Structure 1
């Protein structure tokens, strides 16, 4: 390679790079939207390839007759036409493959392994769904749903078997769905409640490796003794009994090795499936598949992080300490020995409630009723007073000691309520105690996401019927009452926020637990009387001064400003200056919507007008001659045609973009 050739290459490459970059910037600027950098650069390269043949097509047969000015003009026209063609190609590509619908080259290279694993998992899930007869519900035209209770029960059984075969993440999803009686038929819920988290224990060598890595020292240095055989094994973690060097009995909860990667892979697939189903099927849009999966993913990720459960244990211990002692406790965690994958906590004495029938029989009915009432009062304290409550108090999460004391386990996921929600739930319980359907309706409308229009009179009648049926004295249909209430929400288009749904789920689960503690325990009646009792306690003479002080402290700033405002209104009224201003489009989203519509309308009108003028000019002959071969009217006509095409393309690219 000669020196001249080397210099030419050194000059040519940066010049072409700068030219391509400038063309890409101009194309993106003309279209007015941010497109992918790869496709924009490819469009700029296309301009360079199209310009020479377009110049040859416009140039006269004898290039010697073309002057310097005409050559520059021909080159500019050719570049403009090539740019227009590239922009047309960009718009067509945006219509067929919108920006972001395909990953970039770097993403393709980095995620090739993940995509292969995801495709295999997709295929496995699809085969499971097809094998259990669920394939038709993955399409929009899947046919009508099951009409009879027997067919719903068969379909629920198929769904349960498919989720069970899908693995740990799908079993967890089914267990959460089993608590959503506001979305699923009773037959589905009954089937999904039988899903069990059954897995083989992890070998001790792997568990010891996790413990040593998390503790930063050998296991025998951290514990005086630890049992290699687990007390319990689940899909997320397993629990081992241990003893600290000071002799304290503890339990060690260890996350299964590799479970986080499996969960993240399956959650990614679930989120993608939810997006696809919402785009293709009406039934998934009706109950918000993406929102449901999002809440499930957040809860499952919290369950994988044991630092969350450690903090929840400490917070719940503070809640129980601030409430009257009702014989309910939680294990004390050991933060110094705990991490994201390991949780060490106090070992509470007792027997799981599901296996404590002989112990409860020895305690007697009176003591059992007191234990059940204490547990329900504790839950009401958590929900109404502190806003932190156990969401899943099933019999496996409750220990019964020999003296009847209760221990709550598994606080990996707890419910949290703001003050307004707690007040509304308290008002709901008080209204149920009075049998006031109007007050019940008002309290419920504060709890749920109400649509734009709701027939409150009909809602009050429906709630009145529910009160008569389930809240009457002597009624014990707790879970049935919750299911009926949730069905009422659904029929009136009322959305249940996740924290409120967690409250209903907690009390529906608690009813079965209370039934084991004391058969025939009246959950609805006791909750109704407890709600009335708590309202009466809030209005007791000894608490009224404090309540009044709190209310006055909140109202004092308003009361201070009130006289000045009344004086200003009176003065304006006296002088005839009282006006009421209503700001149109006060919301930013409204202004953006109207502005966008107006801009697109103006671009369409201007583009259409420029196109019509271009056609008229091109049909009027050459007009005043600028040179021997170029007239003014064709020049203006082609220029307006370029303007028309650019403006119309700007409108089209905005219309066809998905976002």
Structure 2
């Protein structure tokens, strides 16, 4: 009986939520604005109104400049996920249910007031039984059901985007495919064990690498709804940047900026695993002395900064819910692009971009390379320090869109993360060039990954083959001249837009054939109608021919008008 009562109640809640979503979408005209890439402020307001699921989707969209315009990327990056904290009694119940133990047996001095609260959960500071301070992140109650329900509703609504007029989004991407990617990412984020694994992996790769530290995760205190990590004190870079806003750049700021760039390059090119959301709120600056409290009353070991000659401050990465992963092949392709950007070689940049993009429509490579050369030209005479990497990346993505190229999602996420990091670095030191800082890394990457012996052997083989081919040039030229003299020379022509031209010719031929058939149908029908007895089945067959011909003419005219309408909208 209870199940019977629960089912109608759940259906009622779903119906109410569907009505709420549709109402907000209509009020802010979300689908039309997204389709035309207009009014990003209205879309951001709608997402904030609709709650956690839509806030997360908006934040994910802000990391995809290959999908939305720069204005949307900028606006959706402002999405606020600070929400009202849950009561301590609710949090206590969740913890005790997850671990099947009383809170007092798990932790000491559990602070009832959270130190942070976001759309998916909130963080409390407490201590383990051994006295170590930890941060416990607990999911909000019911968040899994809320997100799952919203995703089910969205899976039906997302189909409507394809039917919107003047739709710029679906020209290069398939909404169902993008939604599937976001759905997978959100479902992973609902399992806090994934964040715990990300944290542990990032800890192994980056903890105590230079001035960087990462909180240690404690798996025995983690569940699908809870993540427990070492508590790290410090001041967020967001607050630090505000504090130094009008002050002169000093050695400390330069050091931090350079360290951030070098570490991020390491994450991408060496680890293949990078922090995808390095905004100032997710990085702490800890200027206190090293904490050796976990060693108990034993003699404190020598401070790290004396043995490694590091400064008396550390940078601490936080929040590992959004991470990026790239495989070795993609790393190699990215390295080729970075090397090409450093050398300002348009052809190499273009080839590198083709390797990291997916062709989603007709591609004219000659047109693409010409447009890229024209775009990259102004950068030839400017120093590396004058290049705005975020603006340059946005323009390259726009150029790819225009040529029916879709950027690899991992690369789009990387570019967004790189742009966020560049914003921090420029506030720390406006004169720094991220490409100049990255150049030594590029050299090290080449030395480490290029087999110079094989390269040398390949060049020797090329030279040997060239030495064999040179004597043949004279005889080949003579044979060509003889063919010209005999009138037997064949010339192959590579026609640009060949597929489009053939499609046009095919359409013209089809129209001519349709016209001939219609003419024959009309003439034949006229001959049948002209019979002396108008009421015979032969005369009726002629009338039927007229009706069929008229219907075909209407269909052809409608199709022609629709094609003109579509071409006009594409030009706009």
Tell me if TM exceeds 0.5: yes
Report the secondary structure of 1:332's partner residue: coil
Matched residue count: 425
Distance in 2 between residues matched to 1:470 and 1:302, nearest whole Å: 41
Residues 417 and 252 of structure 1: CA distance in aligned 2, closer, same or farther (over 3 Å): same
Shift of 1:433: 1.0
Match of 2:87 in 1: 203
Match of 1:87 in 2: none
Residues 110 and 288 of structure 1: CA distance in aligned 2, closer, same or farther (over 3 Å): farther
Distance in 1 between residues matched to 2:313 and 2:368, nearest whole Å: 43
Match of 1:530 in 2: 441
1:238-287 deviation digits (Å, cap 9, x = unpaired): 00111112221111111111111001111111111112333566725333
Distance in 2 between residues matched to 1:276 and 1:453, nearest whole Å: 25
Match of 1:454 in 2: 363
- 2:317 paired with 1:408: yes
Match of 1:4 in 2: none
Shift of 1:395: 0.8
1:30-66 deviation digits (Å, cap 9, x = unpaired): xxxxxxxxxxxxxxxxxxxxxxxxxxxxxxxxxxxxx
Match of 2:344 among 435, 438, 445: 435
Residues 162 and 248 of structure 1: CA distance in aligned 2, closer, same or farther (over 3 Å): same
Match of 2:192 in 1: 306
Match of 2:214 in 1: 330
- 2:16 paired with 1:120: yes
Residues 464 and 339 of structure 1: CA distance in aligned 2, closer, same or farther (over 3 Å): same
Match of 2:386 among 475, 479, 484: 475
Distance in 2 between residues matched to 1:115 and 1:241, nearest whole Å: 38
| Further displaced range: 155-164 or 388-397 | 155-164
Match of 2:512 in 1: none
Report the secondary structure of 1:251's partner residue: strand
Distance in 2 between residues matched to 1:245 and 1:268, nearest whole Å: 42
Report the secondary structure of 1:299's partner residue: helix
Would the aligned equivalents of 2:112 and 2:124 in 1 still touch at CA under 8 Å?
Answer: yes
Match of 2:131 among 234, 238, 247: 247
Match of 2:423 among 509, 512, 518: 512
Match of 1:294 in 2: 180
Distance in 1 between residues matched to 2:351 and 2:340, nearest whole Å: 10
Match of 1:380 in 2: 265
Where do residues 540-579 of structure 1 align in structure 2 (5 Å cutoff)? none
Shift of 1:463: 2.7
Match of 1:43 in 2: none
1:128-179 deviation digits (Å, cap 9, x = unpaired): 12222447569xxx9xx48xxxxx4xx2221121111111111122222223
Report the secondary structure of 1:198's partner residue: coil
Residues 358 and 197 of structure 1: CA distance in aligned 2, closer, same or farther (over 3 Å): closer
Distance in 2 between residues matched to 1:520 and 1:496, nearest whole Å: 30
Distance in 1 between residues matched to 2:30 and 2:95, nearest whole Å: 42
TM-score for both structures, normalised by structure 1: 0.60
1:353-392 deviation digits (Å, cap 9, x = unpaired): 1011377689962222222222211111111122111111
Match of 1:15 in 2: none
Residues 492 and 501 of structure 1: CA distance in aligned 2, closer, same or farther (over 3 Å): same
1:469-524 deviation digits (Å, cap 9, x = unpaired): 45741324121111111111111110122222211122122212223333343224
- 2:28 paired with 1:132: yes
Unaligned runs of 5+ in 2: 288-311, 459-572
Match of 1:603 in 2: none
Match of 2:308 in 1: none
Shift of 1:426: 0.7
Distance in 2 between residues matched to 1:376 and 1:204, nearest whole Å: 40
Residues 113 and 468 of structure 1: CA distance in aligned 2, closer, same or farther (over 3 Å): farther
1:300-349 deviation digits (Å, cap 9, x = unpaired): 2222211101111111122226xx93322211000111111111101123
Shift of 1:451: 4.3
Would the aligned equivalents of 1:177 and 1:192 in 2 still touch at CA under 8 Å?
Answer: yes
Residues 182 and 452 of structure 1: CA distance in aligned 2, closer, same or farther (over 3 Å): closer
1:70-117 deviation digits (Å, cap 9, x = unpaired): xxxxxxxxxxxxxxxxxxxxxxxxxxxxxxxxxxxxxx9996554433
Match of 2:251 in 1: 366
- 2:144 paired with 1:260: yes
Shift of 1:188: 2.7
